[in-house]
């Protein structure tokens, strides 16, 4: 097992601590509490049954074989690609990079919208992740490096593991914040909310389109020249994972789908010179 590695990034020396990796994925309990969003049914798992077979040792079968029914976009931690808004088939497995991603983790306190804007009207009291809050968080985290960005929102507690977002509002990015993220050349954006957009933006998915550089209303997207950027939503980073620089291992199964459940693992980086 490799415990650590010395890296050179932009002329600076770092040590990656592989013994301290933390998964940010929310465990999906098929028979227990789950996070919920967009009115979708809960994810379920049950024994596979055929004429002469039952996939349950408890029920007399030789082995456990479960069939799962779940929506990747609404059942916990997931990663999606531009195929999410495309008429043409674009799959997350075709766009994933097979490497570790240099990533900055920041913590944001969402605020009411002031100088920033959003592409549909917002309601009083709704909270936004603003351009200025991202800049402030970067300053406190020591600046931005790499192509990955993990955005944790405050308040941050374990209720995120099972929260019913059908009953509770969640903060979303302003359009200016998303443009700023794109200008920073972020290729892999992770946020602990169910979506980078408002729960209801009239089906526009405006921030998704800003990040993927797809104009409003366009659905004809060329799979050969499309954006390779990814958005991961609904993770949980405990407070013990401090803001700063990490190596990200974004684990996604080879699903020919616009999205898939994912397991983002972060490994801390320590400056050595």
Is residue 57 a part of any domain in this protein? no
Domain with 210, as residue range(s), is 4-30+72-271
Is residue 41 a part of any domain in this protein? no
CATH code, domain carrying 90: 3.50.30.50
Q: What average pLDDT does the structure give for the chain?
A: 94
Is residue 45 a part of any domain in this protein? no
Compute the Cα dihedral for 214, 104, 173, 163 and give only its sign: positive
Is residue 221 a part of any domain in this protein? yes
- Predicted local confidence at residue 11, as pLDDT: 83
Is residue 58 a part of any domain in this protein? no
Is residue 177 a part of any domain in this protein? yes
**pLDDT per position as a tens digit, 131-183:** 999 999 998 888 877 899 999 999 999 999 999 998 889 999 999 999 999 99
Question: Is the separation of the CB atoms in 102 and 16 below 8 Å?
Answer: no
Residues 6+ apart with CB under 8 A from 238: 22, 156, 158
**pLDDT per position as a tens digit, 8-61:** 887 889 999 999 999 999 999 999 999 989 988 999 999 999 999 999 999 999
3-state secondary structure of 151: strand
Neighbours of 268 (CB within 10 A): 20
3-state secondary structure of 177: helix
**pLDDT per position as a tens digit, 224-245:** 999 999 999 999 999 999 999 9
Tally of structural domains, the chain: 1
Is residue 88 a part of any domain in this protein? yes
pTM for the full predicted model:
0.95
Select from 95, 118, 91, 87 the least CA-distant residue to 218. Answer: 87
Is residue 35 a part of any domain in this protein? no
How does residue 4 score in pLDDT terms, banded at 50, 70 and 90? confident
The DSSP bridge pattern shows strands 148-153 and 101-108 to be: parallel
């Amino acid at each position: 097992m490799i415990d650590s590695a010395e890296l050179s990034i932009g002329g600076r020396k770092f040590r990656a601590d592989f013994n301290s990796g933390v998964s940010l994925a929310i465990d999906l309990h098929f028979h227990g509490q789950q996070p919920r969003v967009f009115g979708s049914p809960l994810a379920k798992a049950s024994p596979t049954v055929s004429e002469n077979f039952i996939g349950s040792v408890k029920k007399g079968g030789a082995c456990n074989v479960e069939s799962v029914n779940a929506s990747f976009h609404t059942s916990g931690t997931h990663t999606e690609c531009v195929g999410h808004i495309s008429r043409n088939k674009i799959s997350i497995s075709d766009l994933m990079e097979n490497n570790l991603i240099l990533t900055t983790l920041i913590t944001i306190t969402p605020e009411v919208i002031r100088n920033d804007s959003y592409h549909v009207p917002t309601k009083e009291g709704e909270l936004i992740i603003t351009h200025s809050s991202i800049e402030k968080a970067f300053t406190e985290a020591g600046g931005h490096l790499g192509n990955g960005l993990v955005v944790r929102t405050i308040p941050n507690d374990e209720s995120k593991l099972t929260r019913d977002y059908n009953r509770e509002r969640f903060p979303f990015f302003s359009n200016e914040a998303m443009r700023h993220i794109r200008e920073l050349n972020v290729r892999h954006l992770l946020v602990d909310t169910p979506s980078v957009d408002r729960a209801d933006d009239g089906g526009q998915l405006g921030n998704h389109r800003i990040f993927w550089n797809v104009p409003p209303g366009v659905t004809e997207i060329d799979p050969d020249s499309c954006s390779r950027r990814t958005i991961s939503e609904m993770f949980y980073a405990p407070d013990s994972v401090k803001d700063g620089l990490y190596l990200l291992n974004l684990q996604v199964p080879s699903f020919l789908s616009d999205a898939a459940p994912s397991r983002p693992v972060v490994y801390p980086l320590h400056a050595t010179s």
